[in-house]
Amino acid sequence: MQVPAAFQYERATSLEQAIELLGRYGPEARVVAGGHSLLPMMKLRLAQPEALIDINGLAELASIRVDGHDLAVGAMVRHAELLSSPVVGEHFPILRDAERVIADPLVRNRGTVGGSLCQADPSEDLSAAFSALRATLVTQGPDGRRTLAIREFFLGPYETALNEAELLVEIRVPIRSHASAYRKVERRVGDWAVVAAGAVLEISGGLITEAGIGLTAVGAPRFVAEGAENFLRGGRPDEERFEEAARIAAGSAGRRPTSAARSTTSGTWPESSPRGRCAPPPHAPGGRRRDMRITVTVNGEQHTRDVEPRLLLVHFLRDELRLTGTHWGCDTSNCGVCTVWLDGTPVKSCTVLAVMADGHEVRTVEGLAHGAELDPVQQGFIACHGLQCGFCTPGMMMTARWLLDHDADPSEEDIREAVSGQMCRCTGYENIVRSIRWAAEHGGARGTADAGTEPAPGREEVRA
């Protein structure tokens, strides 16, 4: 079993407090939100922070809004929220295209936009997309706020321009008439890109007046192909010019595309020293950190325990509460067998700390049945032989239940997309898809209200 080394846990309740805590703990502190990069690194001892500062409660960083002529995206906006935003889809197709191929639906439910950018991973998707859009980043630290162009933010692989005790708070993109798209080559859903490219073109009078080209996974400096952009600017938007721009872009790449490892994406920032480097500290002092008392509502029942901050939610459920229906598999946020609901949203419980669930509601597979009556999803997995070895089944059923609560008649494509973040080691996806379709056809839309757990309300988009 892999668990992080001991650390001090702090939960920030305001942006100012988060900055103060970063200053207090210094470069040995890390900020956590989604945690899909940091927590696996901590379990592997690739990162051993002295302190972890949880900023999931900073609602002021979680809005998507139109502010004058700009789209303003808070750093705490989840990937799933950016993907589903009508405003983003209307004005910036490139962001919608990029979000569709980031990790998998479960990771997108938890991972944040700001975390992805501050990770500065050279194979990250949003970094290329926002760079093509020439976004502006707003940061805040002890000395107040500052703005910088995103192309000045990335200093190198895993290296940003964030200063000590400074946080990314907002991403701003000017709303202009343009055409844009993003395409990614990957081995399977959730992988890092083998290569990916995004393009933004502004055209007026039959000529390209501005061009943005973002590249990822090929070593392009600051995620862009400036030579190709310069070549396109002022020319006609025809196939011949596009082909030449592609040759120039390929020549500007720092390395050839390579096969990609499975992605965990990022939900943390800043993973940086005072100079913005994202390398973890070389070591953290040993010793047990103080236990914390938490109260978590699981399947409608409150449970209070004293736990170490490093205890993962999956182990809290299995070892403290003896709810062993939630399985534990890969330790790296890949396989999804540990899926539960946190405040009505499916998440991978191996990538959530138990202390992060304090004051929140969790629903596990044990909470699916309605008294003595099995949920239609459970019945469907029995009727259509979706159980198979049973290892991935609890997580699959939790995702299926959530899907049917939000779409009573999903297509096969919708079902496959929903479970794409979960690995069936028997490779028996056909039976799983049939099981979920059976549930949809046999009263599958029931379930959430009966269990006393309402889906978490979506954050509203506002216009300023």
Report, as an integer, the average pLDDT of 89-117.
96
Q: Supply the pLDDT for residue 160.
A: 96
How confident is residue 21, by pLDDT bands cut at 50, 70 and 90? very high
pLDDT at 278 over 60: no
For the chain, give the percent of residues with pLDDT over 90. Answer: 80
pLDDT at 18 over 50: yes
Report, as an integer, the average pLDDT of 201-223.
96
Q: Supply the pLDDT for residue 255.
A: 66
* Per-residue pLDDT tens over the stretch 58-80: 999 999 999 999 999 999 999 99
More confident residue, 285 or 299: 299
Closest C-alpha among 290, 269, 272, 289 to residue 281: 272
pLDDT at 127 over 70: yes
Q: Supply the pLDDT for residue 286.
A: 43
What Cα–Cα distance (Å) separates residue 351 from each residue in 104, 107, 301? 14, 9, 23
pLDDT at 322 over 80: yes
Q: Supply the pLDDT for residue 333.
A: 82
d(CA 413, CA 138): 38
pLDDT at 259 over 60: no
pLDDT at 463 over 60: no
d(CA 149, CA 108): 25
Q: Supply the pLDDT for residue 1.
A: 60
pLDDT at 389 over 60: yes
Report, as an integer, the average pLDDT of 440-449.
70
Report, as an integer, the average pLDDT of 335-345.
96
SS3 sequence of the chain: CCCCCCCEEEECCCHHHHHHHHHHHHHHEEEECCCCCHHHHHHCCCCCCCEEEECCCCHHHCCEEEECCEEEEECCCEHHHHHHCHHHHHHCHHHHHHHHCCCCHHHHHHCEHHHHHHHCCCCCHHHHHHHHCCCEEEEEECCEEEEEEHHHHEEECCEECCCCCCEEEEEEEECCCCEEEEEEECCCCCECCCEEEEEEEEEECCEEEEEEEEEECCCCHHHECHHHHHHHCCCCCCHHHHHHHHHHHHHHCCCCCCCCCECCCCCECCCCCCCCECCCCCCCCCCCCCCEEEEEEECCEEEEEEECCCCEHHHHHHHHCCCCCCCCCCCCCCCCCCEEEECCEEEEHHHCEHHHHCCCEEECHHHCCECCECCHHHHHHHHCCCCCCCCCHHHHHHHHHHHHHHCCCCCHHHHHHHCCCCCCCCCCHHHHHHHHHHHHHCCCCCCCHHHCCCCCCCCCCEEC
* Per-residue pLDDT tens over the stretch 248-257: 999 987 666 5
Name the pTM for this structure. 0.88
How confident is residue 265, by pLDDT bands cut at 50, 70 and 90? very low
Report, as an integer, the average pLDDT of 93-113.
96
* Per-residue pLDDT tens over the stretch 170-203: 999 999 999 999 999 987 777 778 999 999 999 9
Beta bridge partners of 201: 179, 211
Backbone angles phi, psi at 432, to 5 degrees: -65, -45
How confident is residue 459, by pLDDT bands cut at 50, 70 and 90? very low
More confident residue, 332 or 107: 107
More confident residue, 454 or 112: 112
* Per-residue pLDDT tens over the stretch 134-145: 999 999 999 999
Q: Supply the pLDDT for residue 134.
A: 98
pLDDT at 360 over 60: yes
Q: Supply the pLDDT for residue 193.
A: 87
Q: Supply the pLDDT for residue 257.
A: 58
Report, as an integer, the average pLDDT of 102-114.
95
For the chain, give the percent of residues with pLDDT over 70. Answer: 88
State how beta strands 8-11 and 195-204 pair: unpaired
pLDDT at 169 over 90: yes
pLDDT at 104 over 50: yes
- Name the least confident of 32-41, 224-233, 329-338: 329-338
Q: Is the dihedral of CA 86, 88, 93, 96 positive or negative?
A: negative
pLDDT at 282 over 50: no
Q: Supply the pLDDT for residue 331.
A: 75
- Name the least confident of 73-77, 258-262, 316-320, 400-404: 258-262
State how beta strands 345-348 and 339-342 pair: antiparallel
